Chain A
Amino acid sequence: MKRFLSLFLFSFVFVLGMFLPAGSVFAYTPVSGNISVNTTWTTAGSVYVVESDVTINSGVTLTIDPGVVVKFKATTTSMIVDGTVNANGTENSPVYFTSYKDDTVGGDTDGVSAPVQPGNWGRIQVWTGGQVNLHYAIVRYGGSYTYGNLYNYGGTFNVENTTIASSSASGILHSSGTLNVATSTIADNGTYGINAQSSGTVSITGSTFSNNATAAGIFNLSYLTLTNSGNSNPDIGYGKRGFVMQGGTGRNTTWSADGLPYIISGGYTVNYGHTLTVSPGAVVKFENNSAYLQVGYNAALTANGDSTHQIYFTSIKDDVLNDTDSSATTTPEGGNWGRITTASNGTVNFSYATIRYGGGDYYAANIYNNGGTFTISTSTISNGYSYGIRHGAGTTNLTQSSLFGNGTQAYYNPSLATTTATNNYWGSSSGPYNAKYNPTGDHNNEVSDYVSFIPFLTYDPTIPDIIAPSDPEDLTAITISPSHIDIDWAGSNDNRSVAGYRVERCNGSVCSDFAFVATSTVSEYSDTGLTASTTYRYRVLAFDEANNWSDYSNTANGTTYKLHYINDWNSVDHDSEHGKEIRWDGSTKYSTAWNYAIDTWNNLRTSTSSGILIANDDIYHYEDLTISNDNFGQSGWAGQYVPNIGADDIELNEYYFDQESFTDENKKHVAIHELGHALGLDHSYDGNIMYAYVFMDEQTTLGDQDTTDYTYCWIDMNCQEY
């Protein structure tokens, strides 16, 4: 009998064993109820099965060791955190929070092969004052009753290197408190990866989203602060690959550049007194033709990109940044979304921004100014359903931008107030068509009346310019005075326009230590404040608006004039002067010119005792100077001063004086000039009587240098007197 019983028991156990699944592990640690003392869940106790809600009391810490598996038994079971949970997984031994039905980790805990599904369990919920720190954790198959795998209700979630997946609703539902998600994966959730539409603070950085059924995230920034950067959503699977922005902004807000676009699904308003700043590189997409961005009264939208970080406002069908609508076959077109608009007193600033494929609502324009101030520069406005810009009221300033591909008109101004839109590119080098002002312009890019669009650009300023201007050539230096040299050069050419020239200078004719002098916007420069009788060496180079620089021009030397042009009194016998008088003898048939010359110099005397008197001789005075004229034939000179022994001589050449084209002014000039030599003045420069070339103009009055030198000699008495 005993042997029979033994055989029966053996057979029973054997048969039972045959019916059990291979590898089945029955052992687990059931948990439920309140944890009121600090507790550690270890791999020795793993798997932990939450059979009904487990609550970590306030002030209590639950520590979960690497590799521990926590399974939740039913849709109604959750982990409620009033205290602290530290899930300390590692890269190779993560901590799991999953369904009781999940047989892929911790074995077949429930002993049946029913498939695991999203929503099989509740959530990890943190209340105000609670904190959950997930480090290398995997949380999946929760989210029953739409709360998400994680639900923040006033506490703090710190989620790092963690996977939040396969929730039946959102991966994370944030209602309030603080949520920090870093370098984590949010995937395969039933609605949004992250759903945060109430309040608190949310930070999402460096994380990967994929296959979240509705969208990667949804946020309402009316009372919520969001910071995000470095996130991505690879172009695989489904769901909108971006962050849906709901409602509007209730505070000053920044949408930073991220690997994900911001999606506007309906009307989005920047509310009164607040500013929405869109950072360089950020992309904003609109989901449908009822989606628009409105800047409210006294609110502002600032979207200033830079040359390498454009900002986009476009259709969700536009695959810039990523295929946001997860539909590789869709093609964007004008009217895909509504508009960007302002209420009165709203302010919008765009630079390095692209606004395209809008105009899908009543206003039919990408941009509609309804009474605010739009300031747009270096931006692209294209493919509006009917209009790129529609100006209803307010102020619209548009410059250095590119407009093309808009359905009816690039710029439509139905108001009677003219707006400024100069220096823009209108899709063609011929400018936009306007029947009145540019009838030869491009018909595909038309501008309505009341838009001041001339001058327009012949190139697209939004395309980075990498071509430097040509080198300036033919640099020459022209001396103007003892302290002034003018330089000019053949201007550079540029594919767009030359912004200016940098002028450099050094002292000396062969110097090389050039230094910056000034910037000139034209191909000439007046260099003043220089030292007299000094040689300067110049060179210039050109630059354009994009800061492309040419090479240097040739160099050019200029020497400033002397301070004074006085004859060398040691080598010139100055018999023409005696005792501050010049007594002259002789005669000339050009007496009008001669008398004019005498008066011209005598008029510089400030009193009878100052300066030098020029008068004809008499019986009491020997002549110092003789005037005469004769025909000396072709010689190249019209007058000559000869410092002879005894009286000096002035000779006027009749050959030129008697020519019909030799004017009375020419004669006076020659006479004043030669009498100036008798006064000891030397040849000086253009603009002065003592300039050596009479033909230059018909100057009959003294120049500044003439007066300066006379004063230097005869008023200040600096010249040696015989």
Chain B
Amino acid sequence: MKIYIYGTVILMVVFVFTAGIHANFIKFPVTKNIHNVYVADFNKDNILVGFSDNIFIGKVNKEIETVDFAKAPVTKYSVDIISNIKGDFKGEVFVYQQGGYKNGILFVVEGGDQIVSGKAESYLLHPGYTYVFATVKNHILKGNLLLSHPNAIELISKDDNASYELLKKNSENNETVIKFKKAYINEEISKFHVDNENSFLSLPVEKQQELRSEAEKFK
């Protein structure tokens, strides 16, 4: 009898453990690096901005789910728009970030260690924090995919209680926000970014002039 009890307990433990791993309830202290080879030099601001369909300041509401994408996890977030640099998002948008937990192991895109060590407190987006995002429209995910290059994201604020107005005002002095605004008027669109949206030259002339004038102030 005992053996059945022990066996049942062991099976339950194994089941719980396996389920915990599978559901990422159990998280191992292991990180794996995904390696991408990029089609444009995202070290350069004008190229990164040109490759992005949207660049915006947004506050992460919550993590929604983690799904498999190209044999690796991507994590989906709900983000409230604070302001736009490129494009015209309003309200809530969904942002996918490459990486996340899979079988209890954290996958990050190479270079994510820079984010962990310097630019943010963690690789994965943090609910309640405000970032500047550079995203592309991904028709497979049917959402906005944060470019996986480290330069595509910057932490703006950790203040979960700040008003959106205050977050917007404070973001205007952020170095990355400023350099993205300056880069937008001189963006360079990669030949591989065939489905680009919101290019600077697609804007009305008056809007282009307004953005140029704004960028001029930063010189």
Size category of the binding interface on chain A: 35 or more
Contacts of B53-75 to chain A: CB distance below 8 A = 53, 69-72
Q: Mark interface residues in A562-578 (1 if CB within 8 Å of B CB, else 0).
A: 00000110011100000
The interface bits of chain A over 680-697 (1 if a CB of B lies within 8 angstroms of the residue's CB, else 0) are 001100000000111110
Partner of B39, one of A637, A641, A682: A637
Complex Cα distance A101/B171, Å? 108
**A440 part of interface (Cβ distance < 8 Å):** no
CA distance A637 to B141 in the complex (A): 15
CB distance from A253 to the nearest CB of B (A): 66
Q: Is A638 an interface residue (CB 8 A)?
A: yes
A642-B107, A644-B71 given as contacts; is B193 within 8 A of A634 (CB)? yes
B164 at interface (Cβ–Cβ under 8 A)? no
Do A683 and B110 form a contact, CB below 8 Å, given A649-B71, A656-B192?
A: yes
Report which of B36, B41, B191 forms a contact with A637, defined as CB distance below 8 A.
B36
Question: Quick one: which of A628, A635, A649 contacts B148, CB cutoff 8 A?
Answer: A635
Q: Does B147 contact A (CB under 8 A)?
A: yes
Q: Contacts of A637 on B, CB cut-off 8 Å?
A: 36-39, 148
Q: B34 on the interface (CB 8 Å rule)?
A: yes
Which residue of chain A is the closest to B40 with respect to CB atoms? A695
Cα–Cα, bound, A628→B72 (Å): 13
* Chain A neighbourhood of B110, CB < 8 A: 682-683, 692
- Digitize A646-689: 1 where CB-to-B-CB distance is under 8 Å, 0 elsewhere: 00010101001001011000000110011001000011000000
A474 at the interface (CB under 8 A from B): no
Q: How far is the CA of A150 from the CA of B36 in the complex (A)?
A: 103
**B140 adjacent to A695 (CB under 8 Å):** no
List the A side residues contacting B5 at CB < 8 Å.
none
Given A630-B70, A632-B70, A656-B192: A639 in contact with B140 (beta carbons within 8 A) = no
Task: Tell me, yes or no, whether A11 is within 8 Å of chain B by CB.
Answer: no
Q: Report how far A721 CA is from B137 CA in the complex, Å.
A: 41
Q: Which residues of B contact A568 (CB under 8 A)?
A: 33
**Interface: B32 (CB within 8 A):** yes
Asked if A651 and B140 sit within 8 Å, CB to CB, the answer is: no
Residues of A close to B138: CB separation below 8 A: 632-635
Contacts A643-B32, A645-B103, A695-B192 given; does A638 touch B37 at CB 8 Å: yes
Whether B42 sits at the interface, judged by CB under 8 Å, is yes
* Assembly CA distance A638 to B105 (angstroms): 24
Given contacts A572-B32, A635-B148, A645-B103, contact A695 B71 (CB under 8 A): no
User: With an 8 A cutoff between CB atoms, is A636 at the interface?
Assistant: yes
| Complex contact A634–B38 (CB within 8 A) | no
Q: Does A640 contact B (CB under 8 A)?
A: yes
B74-107 near A? 1/0 per residue, CB < 8 Å: 0000000000000000000000001000010101
C-beta contact mask, B128-159 vs A, less than 8 Å → 1, else 0? 00000000111111000101110000000000
Please tell me if B166 contacts chain A, counting CB pairs below 8 Å.
Answer: no
B139 touches A634 (CB 8 A): yes
- C-alpha gap A643/B102 in the complex (Å): 12
The answer, yes or no, to whether A718 is at the interface (CB within 8 Å) is no
Judged by a CB distance under 8 angstroms, whether A631 is at the interface is yes
Interchain pairs with CB closer than 8 A, number: 122
Q: What sequence of 0s and 1s flags, for each residue 594-629 of chain A, a beta carbon within 8 Å of any chain B beta carbon?
A: 000000000000000000000000000000000010
Contact status A640-B35, CB under 8 Å: yes
> Of B37, B70, B140, which one neighbours A642 at CB under 8 angstroms?
B70
| Cα distance A87–B52 in the bound complex, in angstroms | 104
B184 neighbours in A (Cβ, 8 Å):
none
Q: Which of A689-722 contact B (CB under 8 A)?
A: 692-696
**Cβ of B32 and Cβ of A693 under 8 Å apart?**
no
The one of B37, B139, B192 that contacts A639, using a Cβ cutoff of 8 Å: B37
Given contacts A651-B71, A659-B192, contact A636 B38 (CB under 8 A): yes
How far apart are the CA atoms of A630 and B141 in the complex, in Å? Answer: 13
Q: Does B194 contact A (CB under 8 A)?
A: yes
Task: Tell which of A638, A642, A694, A696 has the most Cβ of chain B within 10 Å.
Answer: A642
What's the Cα separation between A628 and B70 when bound, in Å? 9
Q: With A and B bound together, what is the CA distance between A643 and B41 in angstroms? A: 24
Let me know if B35 and A677 touch, CB within 8 A.
yes
Contacts of B34 in A (CB 8 A): 640-643
Pair A696/B69 contact, Cβ less than 8 Å: no
User: A634 — nearest CB in chain B belongs to which residue?
Assistant: B136
A639 vs B38: C-alpha distance when bound (angstroms): 8
Name the CB-closest residue of B to A672: B37
Asked if B30 is at the interface of the complex by the 8 Å CB criterion, the answer is: yes
State whether B139 touches A695 (Cβ < 8 A).
Answer: no
Cβ of A691 to closest chain B Cβ, rounded Å: 9
CB-based contact B36/A692 at 8 Å: yes
Q: How far is the CB of B91 from chain A (nearest CB, A)?
A: 23
Give the shortest distance, in Å, between A535 (CB) and chain B (any CB).
15
20 further A-B pairs in the complex, CB-CB below 8 A; given A649-B71, A693-B38: A571-B33, A634-B53, A634-B136, A635-B136, A637-B36, A637-B37, A637-B39, A637-B148, A638-B39, A639-B37, A640-B71, A643-B33, A644-B71, A645-B103, A651-B71, A653-B70, A662-B192, A673-B37, A682-B35, A692-B37
Residues of A within 8 A of B (CB): 567-568, 571-573, 628, 630-645, 649, 651, 653, 656, 659, 661-662, 669-670, 673-674, 677, 682-683, 692-696
Binding site for A on B (CB under 8 A): 30-42, 51, 53, 69-72, 98, 103, 105, 107, 110, 136-141, 145, 147-149, 190-195
What are 21 pairs between A and B in contact, CB < 8 Å? Answer: A571-B33, A632-B70, A632-B138, A632-B140, A633-B139, A634-B136, A634-B138, A635-B98, A636-B136, A637-B148, A638-B39, A640-B37, A642-B34, A642-B107, A673-B37, A683-B110, A692-B38, A692-B110, A693-B39, A695-B38, A695-B190
